[in-house]
């Protein structure tokens, strides 16, 4: 990078806002800066010279929802192949460059985003950013890695086709979001993956990887001027605007139904859920707290206490809020002996109806709020985790000061809020998918 570019970056850089974040590894307050590059590319930066590392996380709007009709798996295959050679480097040469400099570069997809994470030593950051640039703007999608990855994906899909957990999860999403992109299998199908070619992957890159849907967070030993220059050299050649397939708003369907799939396995797997809360819903934080009490709190939740501790029906049981760009749901799961499946299902339904009708207790609310306020900071124990979380805050449009406001939002949830929201969250019934032996085939006794 030439000195002229660095000088321009230093003078044109805009730092437009800040908030405060406690970086656990540094045990001190650290500023979150909003950095705007000379070319207008924005990133959130936590500058920390404690360790000579730089971690970057980024997200492009798009994800699995941008798979073409009839070809589920394109986004996932793109993420798996985009770093298998780029520019004048084939797959082996690209990997050798990463390995030689101990650069960690990973691509993945969610239903709404194409995600990238990068971790590098400070001294290798220019090469790391250059390799990322090449992967984004000049991926090769050569035949050998394409066929190799295709074989791996098909092997995984065949294995998943007999996994009760995977069957239950996929069936729940396919039923809840029938005829909607969210209902498609993220990794594709045994029929679709063989039809995916390099042109499909190139088309996905052209449509999705653009600057207007890009969110970036960087944590580590780099200042705003240096980052601004790297943002332009890394992302400046991307298209200005993505060409995304419109995705309609949707609510989970088939609530109140139970879909049963027979499979001769030792344990019956149960997936359950229903409509949730959008991230921008004014009641979202109250729903988040209530869900923690009901099933999101691992060993402290009502479902765990009633189904696992008191009756020993399952090893674990959970449910989580799932907020997407175009839908919101809660989703949970468990597994039990086939001859105890009906009892387990009835108990889950009973407990969720009970909290919907009565709401949580004052003690449950206080304990949940205390846990949720403390656990957030404990989870941000690495630069990579901080970068990932800051990108998610941007994707959710929560504002650069959200980390500073979060505990106050939790504290503001009253018992009246919690009881009202519990009815809204769990009062509408459940969509369940159950995979396992039919009752007549289930063993009895201990």
- The rounded Cα 195 to chain-centroid distance in angstroms is 27
Residue-wise pLDDT tens digits, 334-369: 999 999 999 999 999 999 999 999 999 999 999 999
> How confident is the model at residue 22, as a pLDDT?
39
Residue-wise pLDDT tens digits, 121-156: 999 999 999 999 999 999 999 999 999 999 999 999
> How confident is the model at residue 20, as a pLDDT?
36
Within a 10 A sphere around the Cβ of 310, how many other Cβ atoms? Answer: 10
How do beta strands 113-121 and 53-61 pair?
antiparallel
> How confident is the model at residue 198, as a pLDDT?
98
Task: Mean pLDDT check: name the lowest of 298-312, 326-340, 360-374, 413-427.
Answer: 298-312
**Percentage of the chain lying above the pLDDT 90 cut:** 87
> How confident is the model at residue 78, as a pLDDT?
98
CA 69 → CA 43, 63, 65, 150, distances in Å? 33, 14, 10, 19
Task: Mean pLDDT check: name the lowest of 2-6, 21-25, 272-276, 312-316.
Answer: 2-6
Distance CA 399, CA 42 (A): 13
SS3 call for 346: helix
| DSSP structure class, residue 443 | -
> How confident is the model at residue 297, as a pLDDT?
73
Residue-wise pLDDT tens digits, 17-59: 334 343 444 334 468 999 999 999 999 999 999 999 999 999 9
Residue-wise pLDDT tens digits, 243-289: 999 999 999 999 999 999 999 999 999 999 999 999 999 999 999 99
What's the mean pLDDT when you consider all of the chain?
Answer: 91
The answer, yes or no, to whether residue 104 has pLDDT greater than 50, is: yes
Q: Are 172 and 50 in contact (CB under 8 A)?
A: no
The answer, yes or no, to whether residue 2 has pLDDT greater than 50, is: no
Task: Mean pLDDT check: name the lowest of 1-5, 107-111, 118-122, 185-189.
Answer: 1-5
Domains of the chain in start order, with CATH, are 3-235 (3.30.830.10), 258-441 (3.30.830.10)
Within a 10 A sphere around the Cβ of 251, how many other Cβ atoms? Answer: 14
> How confident is the model at residue 439, as a pLDDT?
57
Distance CA 302, CA 250 (A): 29
Q: Are 86 and 103 in contact (CB under 8 A)?
A: no
The answer, yes or no, to whether residue 14 has pLDDT greater than 50, is: no
Distance CA 10, CA 165 (A): 52
pTM of the model: 0.90
Q: Are 41 and 13 in contact (CB under 8 A)?
A: no
Distance CA 402, CA 156 (A): 39
Distance CA 301, CA 439 (A): 29
**Percentage of the chain lying above the pLDDT 70 cut:** 91
């Amino acid at each position: 990078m030439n000195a002229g570019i660095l000088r321009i970056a230093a003078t044109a850089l805009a730092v437009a806002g800040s908030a405060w974040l406690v970086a656990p590894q540094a045990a001190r307050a650290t500023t979150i800066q909003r950095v705007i590059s000379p070319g207008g590319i924005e990133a959130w930066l936590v500058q920390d010279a404690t360790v000579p590392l730089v971690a970057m996380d980024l997200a492009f709007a798009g994800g699995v929802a941008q798979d073409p009709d009839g070809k589920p798996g394109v986004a996932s295959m793109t993420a798996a192949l985009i770093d298998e050679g780029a520019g004048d480097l084939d797959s082996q040469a690209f990997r050798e460059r990463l390995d030689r400099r101990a650069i960690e570069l990973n691509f993945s997809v969610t239903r709404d985003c194409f995600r990238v994470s990068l971790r590098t030593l400070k001294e290798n950051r220019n090469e790391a950013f250059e390799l990322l640039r090449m992967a984004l703007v000049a991926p090769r999608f050569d035949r050998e890695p394409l066929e190799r990855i295709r074989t791996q994906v098909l092997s995984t899909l065949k294995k998943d086709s007999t996994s009760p957990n995977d069957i239950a999860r996929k069936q729940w999403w396919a039923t809840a979001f029938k005829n909607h992109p969210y209902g498609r299998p993220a990794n594709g199908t045994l029929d679709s993956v063989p039809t995916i070619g390099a042109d499909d992957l190139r088309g996905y890159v052209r449509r999705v990887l653009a600057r207007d849907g890009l969110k970036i967070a960087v944590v580590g030993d780099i200042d705003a001027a240096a980052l601004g220059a790297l943002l332009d050299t890394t992302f400046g050649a991307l298209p200005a605007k993505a060409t995304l397939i419109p995705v309609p708003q949707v609510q989970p369907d088939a609530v109140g139904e139970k879909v049963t799939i027979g499979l001769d396995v030792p344990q019956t797997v149960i997936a359950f859920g229903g409509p949730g809360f959008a991230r921008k819903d004014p009641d979202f934080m109250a729903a988040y707290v209530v869900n923690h009490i009901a099933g999101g709190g691992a060993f402290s939740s009502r479902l765990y206490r009633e189904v696992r501790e008191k009756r020993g029906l399952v090893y674990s049981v959970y449910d989580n809020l799932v907020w997407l760009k175009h839908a919101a749901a809660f989703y949970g799961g468990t597994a039990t002996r086939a001859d105890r499946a009906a009892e387990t299902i009835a108990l889950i339904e009973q407990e969720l109806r009970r909290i919907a009708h009565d709401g949580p207790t004052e003690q449950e609310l206080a304990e949940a709020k205390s846990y949720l306020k403390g656990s957030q900071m404990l989870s941000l124990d690495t630069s990579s985790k901080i970068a990932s979380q800051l990108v998610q805050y941007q994707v959710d449009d929560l504002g650069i000061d959200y980390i500073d406001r979060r505990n106050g939002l939790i504290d503001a949830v009253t018992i009246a809020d919690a009881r009202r929201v519990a009815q809204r969250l769990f009062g509408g019934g459940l969509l369940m998918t159950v995979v396992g032996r039919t009752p007549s085939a289930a063993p009895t006794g201990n």
